[in-house]
A and B are shown apart, each in its own frame.
Chain A
Amino acid sequence: MKHKVATTVNGHPQEHEVEPRLLLVHYLRDVVGLTGTHIGCDTSQCGACTILVDGKAVKSCTMFAVQAEGRNLTTIEGLAHDGQLHPLQQAFWDEHGLQCGYCTPGFIMAAAYLLAQNPNPTDDDIRKGLEGNLCRCTGYVNIIKSVKSAAAMMGGATEKAGERAAAAKRS
């Protein structure tokens, strides 16, 4: 018994027949073939599978694929444009906001939603905004710095962002 599900993933329309119980994260990874969204737990604690559903951060293990019918989904693979990293991706790189990288896509997607809601967050705003995501490598110190740095880049600090991009290319 399969159900049709039609979504838009990173701007591309997708249509598949899936089991009604298929989790959205498994749909993205195993059916659509986008493996950047990771799975780190069974109980929706870790946030590694966070994506944007119609612009809102959602742990994609908490939704069935069929519930995404007609929705606009953005995964980590859909953030960069024209070969340019999204400011959050750039900032995580600049600030050493990742080590093993497994939780990183989830953090970046959760942070994208956070910055959309609050373009100038304080450290504590960032901590609270990202409390649904677990990282085991960084102690969160550089993740907080990364999100602040991205906020600065996105808030029109264009000159600094340009410098960073140029510096990143050098290294």
Chain B
Amino acid sequence: MAITTMIGAKIHRREDPRLVSGEGHYVDDFTRPHTLHLAVVRSPHAHARVKSIDITQASKAAGVVAIYTHKDFAKVLSGTIPVTPSFVAEKNQIPPHFPIADKEVVYQGEPVAVVLAESKYGAADAANLIDVDYEQLPAVMDLEKALDAKSPKVHSGAADNLGWDLTYIPDDVAVMKEADVVIKQRILQQRLAPTPMEPRGVLAEYSRGDGTLTVWMSSQNPHFVRLFLAGAMGLPETRVRVISPDVGGGFGSKISPYSEDWLVPAAAKLSGRPVKWIETRTESLQTTTHGRGMIFDLEAGVKKDGTLVALKVIQYMDIGAYMGTFSAFQANSCLLSGGAYNWKHIGARTVGVLTNRVPTDPYRGAGRPEATHLCERMIDLLADAIKMDPAAIRRKNFITDFPHTSHFGLIYDSGAYEKALEKALQMAGYEKLRKEQEEGRKKGRYLGIGLSSWIEICGFGPSAGTAPATGGIALVEAAQVRVFPTGSVAVYVGTHSHGQGHDTTFPQIVADTLGVPYDMVELHHGDTAEGPAFGYGTYGSRSLAVGGMAVHKASKKVVDKARKLAAHIFEAAEEDVVFEQGQFYVKGSPDKRKALGEIAFASFGMNLPEGMEQSLEAVAYYDPSNFVFPFGTHIAIVEVDPETGNADLKRYVAVDDCGNIINPMIVDGQVQGGIAQGIAQALYEEVAYDDESGQMKTATLTDYLVPTANEFPMFELDHTITPSPTNELGVKGIGEAGTIAASAAVINAIVDALSPFGIKHIDMPASPDRIWKQIQTARGTSHDGKEARR
């Protein structure tokens, strides 16, 4: 590789000038002539029978062009919203999921009818005039009760509510008996709404003349949508073009296809006019897939000297009413449950349970935040039980030899866990904090210090592991590099940037590999009509470790061809041609040089070696040899006011290791945003439903508490760098790291603060109300503050 100049540099993002000027183009900013606006009529009930749909009044409303229900869509759409095998290949049942309900609705917000009107206000008005007669059915809301044979069923007529039940490794009672102390704990993972600031949206245009479909939509994954949509509409992929322009955040919620991704294009086909639908925030909270939604029953054993012995994990996952496309991916909580530590044994079982809620699917971290949370909580509980310092128990049990094969057969590529821990402890001033904590307690101040030594698996992924998980498509990545005659370079990729800054970082890689000026390289993504045949999207912190490597590989193919041509021009043997910082010369004659741009110009001429075709152009598909395993240690410092129950997050220290860094500014930005989402889970956010009716109680941003700038301190960040041996760039992923680490750090800090009250655990969100009540219970006073009778 050429000597690097751009890789590792803090380059300001080239996407920003337009985004700060209001010149970004998100899906709602696109219009087509003669566009109709679509509004969706949704079920107000979590579970009901649809007895009849009366459209008489709505049809007469001003500007209404069409109203479609299940029977209309059944004419142009076939199949079911796909479910990948993911980490649970064998499933008990996968309820068929047509994008619009017919006789039964199974979650609040499920589409029942759509209205097409000349204006969006008109469509919304008419949607309110559609009269649907429902017969309410019992809603299944509780994960444990749902598994009872006598429970009502999420889908009438189903045998049970079980999605899957898979034991990865049976628990081993004999090993657990080797422990001196065994702790049992139930840990809850509340449902979260991903809440990208731009809701979903779809604009579709179907040309009856040539049978082509163009779809503009807010997606992390346009190629997969094209694949699924072509199948559902019976079109060849060549006639379906999906454009995902600027996207206002995804966080996992824009990976999988949704009902509207089918209904809007189908409505365009049925009506013969372009159709646009933009999700409202209430629709987003009610119908965009949620994350988390799990119960973990845990048991962990430790020896008196702090040696970890065994961990037993049972994960109950709230699947929702249908299985999300990548729902079972979140079973990776089991696979990562051992965290950064050596355990003699880990037993793990995942149980997927259907409920009458909106489906869950990946949300930032998707299984790994839950794994970190359960592991780091259990480590603290064990440390507390044997009176060992939380840092010391971690240090004692860290995995130190790499590559490390886990109990589940995963191969951790590289790590230096203690290094990150020590750096974080030093930044936080751990010893001093412990003294302050001790002093504070004497004065009635409750300071807490919480550690989270996290690891994750990302860079999805090697074909051998991912093709079976998706049902056939290996999650490799594709890139095309085109060099124009004057040396400008266009790069087409199958990843999708929606805040991650690929327009900047990928050209940094190309500029170094080709040795051309950064300004001459331009990145293209998000349009299935451009670039290689398939793209695999952006999720699971995969873009750099897989997509960046595809870009690097394609660039190297270009260099290889250019070297052959340079040798021909120099009349030298290929092996004698040196390529250095974008310049070719013959060994021993460094004065006679040709830049890659000059070779590019020559490549379009007539003086080419025998058999060489014109141009410098290459396509590469990169199939990684392994996943990558980033890691780090985060430390949260909180002060809890026992009178109000408020946990004040005073400081937050994070040391992360994502291998080599392409652009440190962007890496820190990813970490900061990730931490904020983890803290948000720990302290604020929860999708709440009424347990009886299944009505969502948090369907606006008044009720669903996305934190503001007031809620966060300035985060203190640093890194260690342990290159990945998995890929030539030595990179891992960083998009989810902050979220994976943060909830455990904050909750560990709160529990640490509350330890003088004898409090051992607190669930999320650790709201003032929840903390206050737990303190009252611990003090033996009732929640109204009066002394409890004993």
Residues of A within 8 A of B (CB): 19, 21-22, 26, 29, 34-43, 45-46, 48, 75-77, 79-80, 85, 89, 92-94, 96, 98-105, 108, 123, 126-128, 130-144, 167-168, 171
Q: List 7 A-B contacts (CB under 8 A).
A: A29-B29, A76-B22, A101-B248, A127-B708, A134-B706, A136-B249, A137-B673
User: What chain A residues lie within 8 Å of B17 (beta carbons)?
Assistant: 85, 89, 93
Task: Say yes or no: B714 contacts A89, CB within 8 Å.
Answer: no
Alpha-carbon distance A103/B674, docked complex (angstroms) = 17
Task: Say yes or no: B709 contacts A41, CB within 8 Å.
Answer: no
Task: Say yes or no: B24 contacts A144, CB within 8 Å.
Answer: no
Q: Which of A102, A130, A131 contacts B248 (CB 8 A)?
A: A102
B500 within 8 A of A: yes
Q: Which of B16, B28, B674, B710 contacts A35 (CB 8 A)?
A: B28
Q: Which of A37, A79, A127, A135 contacts B197 (CB 8 A)?
A: A135
Q: What is the distance, in angstroms, from A110's C-beta to the closest C-beta of chain B? A: 10
Considering the complex of A and B, which 3 residue pairs feature the smallest CB-CB distances, nearest first?
A36-B22, A102-B248, A139-B676
Q: What is the distance, in angstroms, from B614's C-beta to the closest C-beta of chain A? A: 34
Q: Fill in one digit per residue for B220-250: 1 if any A CB lies within 8 Å of its CB, else 0.
A: 0000000000000000000000000011110
Task: Say yes or no: A42 contacts B709, CB within 8 Å.
Answer: no
Q: What is the distance, in angstroms, from A12's C-beta to the closest C-beta of chain B? A: 15
**Interface range for B:** 35 or more
Residues 659-688 (chain B) with a chain A CB within 8 angstroms: 665-666, 668-670, 672-677
Which of B7-15, B106-114, B344-352, B750-758 lies at the binding interface?
B7-15
User: What chain A residues lie within 8 Å of B249 (beta carbons)?
Assistant: 99-100, 102, 136-137
Task: Say yes or no: A140 contacts B12, CB within 8 Å.
Answer: no
Q: Which of A45, A80, A92, A98 contacts B700 (CB 8 A)?
A: A45
Known: A43-B700, A138-B669. A96 touches B13 (CB 8 A): yes
Q: Which of A46, A79, A138 contacts B701 (CB 8 A)?
A: A46
B702 within 8 A of A: yes
Nearest residue (CB) in A for B282 is A42
Task: Say yes or no: A38 contacts B20, CB within 8 Å.
Answer: no
Task: Say yes or no: A139 contacts B701, CB within 8 Å.
Answer: no
Nearest residue (CB) in A for B11 is A171
Task: Say yes or no: B20 contacts A93, CB within 8 Å.
Answer: yes
Nearest residue (CB) in B for A168 is B12
Q: Which of B20, B121, B248, B676 contacts A100 (CB 8 A)?
A: B248
Q: Which of B120, B281, B499, B709 contacts A137 (CB 8 A)?
A: B499
Task: Say yes or no: A144 contacts B11, CB within 8 Å.
Answer: no
Task: Say yes or no: A144 contacts B714, CB within 8 Å.
Answer: yes
Q: Which of A34, A39, A75, A139 contacts B672 (CB 8 A)?
A: A139
B199 within 8 A of A: yes
Q: Which of A34, A100, A102, A128 contacts B710 (CB 8 A)?
A: A128
Known: A102-B197, A135-B197, A144-B714. A34 touches B700 (CB 8 A): no
Alpha-carbon distance A48/B197, docked complex (angstroms) = 8
User: What chain A residues lie within 8 Å of B689 (beta carbons)?
Assistant: none
B642 within 8 A of A: no
Task: Say yes or no: B22 contacts A75, CB within 8 Å.
Answer: yes
B280 within 8 A of A: yes
Task: Say yes or no: A104 contacts B19, CB within 8 Å.
Answer: yes
Q: Which of B14, B16, B121 contacts A98 (CB 8 A)?
A: B16
User: What chain A residues lie within 8 Å of B462 (beta carbons)?
Assistant: none
Alpha-carbon distance A41/B282, docked complex (angstroms) = 8
Nearest residue (CB) in A for B14 is A171
Q: What is the distance, in angstroms, from A26's C-beta to the closest C-beta of chain B? A: 8
User: What chain A residues lie within 8 Å of B601 (beta carbons)?
Assistant: none
Alpha-carbon distance A102/B198, docked complex (angstroms) = 6
B485 within 8 A of A: no
Task: Say yes or no: B715 contacts A89, CB within 8 Å.
Answer: no
Alpha-carbon distance A42/B286, docked complex (angstroms) = 13
Alpha-carbon distance A21/B119, docked complex (angstroms) = 13
Nearest residue (CB) in B for A164 is B12
Task: Say yes or no: B499 contacts A101, CB within 8 Å.
Answer: yes
Known: A75-B22, A101-B24. A141 touches B712 (CB 8 A): yes
B251 within 8 A of A: yes
Most central of A26, A76, A134, A136 by chain B CB within 10 Å: A136
Q: What is the distance, in angstroms, from A25's C-beta to the closest C-beta of chain B? A: 11
Known: A46-B701, A134-B701, A141-B715. A101 touches B246 (CB 8 A): yes
Alpha-carbon distance A104/B19, docked complex (angstroms) = 7
Task: Say yes or no: B498 contacts A100, CB within 8 Å.
Answer: yes
Alpha-carbon distance A82/B669, docked complex (angstroms) = 30
Task: Say yes or no: A139 contacts B673, CB within 8 Å.
Answer: yes
Alpha-carbon distance A98/B23, docked complex (angstroms) = 14
B26 within 8 A of A: yes
User: What chain A residues lie within 8 Å of B281 (beta carbons)?
Assistant: 40-43, 46
Residues of B within 8 A of A (CB): 11-17, 19-26, 28-29, 120-121, 195-199, 246-249, 251, 278, 280-282, 498-501, 665-666, 668-670, 672-677, 700-702, 706, 708-710, 712, 714-715, 738
User: What chain B residues lie within 8 Å of A77 (beta carbons)?
Assistant: 21-23
Alpha-carbon distance A85/B20, docked complex (angstroms) = 9
Q: What is the distance, in angstroms, from A16's C-beta to the closest C-beta of chain B? A: 15
Alpha-carbon distance A80/B23, docked complex (angstroms) = 12
Task: Say yes or no: B710 contacts A131, CB within 8 Å.
Answer: yes
Known: A94-B12, A139-B675. A37 touches B22 (CB 8 A): yes
Task: Say yes or no: A136 contacts B196, CB within 8 Å.
Answer: yes
Most central of A35, A48, A75, A123 by chain B CB within 10 Å: A35
User: What chain B residues lie within 8 Å of A123 (beta carbons)?
Assistant: 714
Task: Say yes or no: A100 contacts B715, CB within 8 Å.
Answer: no
User: What chain B residues lie within 8 Å of A96 (beta carbons)?
Assistant: 12-13, 665-666, 668-669
Alpha-carbon distance A93/B19, docked complex (angstroms) = 9
User: What chain A residues lie within 8 Å of B706 (beta carbons)?
Assistant: 45, 134, 136
Alpha-carbon distance A79/B498, docked complex (angstroms) = 24
Nearest residue (CB) in A for B16 is A93
Most central of A35, A42, A99, A130 by chain B CB within 10 Å: A99
User: What chain A residues lie within 8 Å of B12 (beta carbons)?
Assistant: 93-94, 96, 167-168, 171
Nearest residue (CB) in B for A94 is B12
Q: Which of A21, A37, A80 contacts B121 (CB 8 A)?
A: A21
Alpha-carbon distance A43/B675, docked complex (angstroms) = 26
User: What chain A residues lie within 8 Å of B701 (beta carbons)?
Assistant: 41, 43, 45-46, 134
Nearest residue (CB) in B for A144 is B709
User: What chain B residues lie within 8 Å of A138 (beta carbons)?
Assistant: 669, 672-673, 676
Known: A100-B197, A105-B22, A128-B710. A142 touches B672 (CB 8 A): yes
User: What chain A residues lie within 8 Å of B282 (beta carbons)?
Assistant: 42
Q: Which of A34, A41, A93, A141 contacts B22 (CB 8 A)?
A: A34
User: What chain B residues lie within 8 Å of A168 (beta carbons)?
Assistant: 12
Nearest residue (CB) in B for A147 is B709
Alpha-carbon distance A19/B710, docked complex (angstroms) = 38
Alpha-carbon distance A38/B16, docked complex (angstroms) = 16
Beyond A100-B499, A136-B197, 13 additional pairs, beta carbon < 8 A: A35-B22, A76-B21, A85-B17, A93-B16, A100-B498, A101-B15, A130-B709, A132-B708, A135-B197, A136-B195, A138-B672, A139-B673, A139-B712
Q: Which of A38, A92, A105, A126 contacts B709 (CB 8 A)?
A: A126
Q: What is the distance, in angstroms, from A124's C-beta to the closest C-beta of chain B? A: 8
Alpha-carbon distance A105/B675, docked complex (angstroms) = 23
Alpha-carbon distance A171/B21, docked complex (angstroms) = 17
Alpha-carbon distance A98/B14, docked complex (angstroms) = 12
Task: Say yes or no: B21 contacts A100, CB within 8 Å.
Answer: no
Known: A102-B26, A141-B715. A89 touches B195 (CB 8 A): no
